Structure 1
Amino acid sequence: MNEEPTQLLASVRQFGIQLSATPRGARLARLLAVEQLRTWELDAVADAAAQIVAELANNAATHGHVSGRDFQLAMFALPDVLRIEVTDTRAERLPVVCPHGDGESGRGLVLVDALASRGWGVELGPPPRKTVWAQVELAPPGRALS
């Protein structure tokens, strides 16, 4: 029996960095994400992804901040989706969406929800961490996003 070796059909491009849980760290997360997306030639989703990173990184620096602890930004580009993850060390502070702007926080997550064409969510652990993620659909080769 002649079996051909299994080939990896899709490659995953990855980017990750640890940043200070400060407003400056949140701004740097956005700038680094935009530059990485340019490197990956994902300009079609760069604006949406930059807004998502800005909101999630700002939340990590504002609500997930613990003195002396950083947050992490990770991005994974698969053939059909860009996954953005921001991890902080305040698992007890879960994100809350305030769709009508009534609350003091949560309005940025309304924007994340609108921009994350493949959804968003939260994963807990390992303690004391939580990861807030969002996914943006990528256009297949030869088809532009509308």
Structure 2
Amino acid sequence: MATLSDVIPQLVDFHVQLSATPRGARLGRVLAAEQLRAWGLPLEVPAQIIAELATNAVTHGRVPGRDFKLALTITPDTLLIEVTDARGDRIPQIHDAGRGLVLVEALADRWGVREGPVPCKVVWAEVSLTPVSRGSAIRRA
């Protein structure tokens, strides 16, 4: 199995466009987990974050006929998870009903929301790939 140092020079990005349906969210989780496994990265924390962000995209960010995108990017120290949905007018808040963003905040080192290509938004989360104390910070970029 390839190690992270073997993978970084060869492949540092994964992205997929999925239908904004529960089936699309589930497929995104499966594909992302397989990609993380192929990269030799830990699965548990990123998989939970991906599950929450993908579910939020199809639950709160869905526009009929529009897909959502899931992207994973590796830098030497960080895994960046990005989910782009079609509802740029609906910015998620940590106090919204549900537990999804509470879990993301607890698991991610940092997370936030930024404008995507109009009319989209991108909800992102970073997970450190080095053993460091975990402290989350919400930042809008």
TM-score of the two chains, using structure 2 as the length reference: 0.83
Deviation at 1:104, TM superposition (A): 3.1
Query: 1:137 corresponds to which residue?
Result: 128
- Measured at CA, do residues 125 and 145 of structure 1 come closer, stay the same or move farther in structure 2, by a change above 3 Å? closer
RMSD, aligned CA: 1.7
Identity of aligned residues (%): 58
Counterpart residue type for residue 32 of structure 1: L
- Structure 1: give runs of 5+ residues left out of the alignment: 1-9
Give the paired residue count: 125
Q: CA deviation at 1:125?
A: 2.8
1:29 counterpart residue number = 28
Classify the secondary structure of the residue corresponding to 1:136.
Answer: strand
Whether the 8 Å CA contact 2:19–2:68 is kept in 1: the answer is yes
For structure 2, the 5+ residue unaligned runs are: 1-7, 134-141
Q: Measure the CA separation in 1 of the matches of 2:47 and 2:24.
A: 14
What does residue range 1-146 of structure 1 map to in structure 2 within 5 Å?
Answer: 11=9, 13-43=12-42, 46-98=43-95, 104-105=97-98, 107-117=99-109, 119-139=110-130
Query: Deviation above 4 Å: which 4+ runs of structure 1?
Result: none
| Distance of 1:64 and 1:89 partners within structure 2 | 6
How much has 1:96 moved relative to structure 2? 1.4
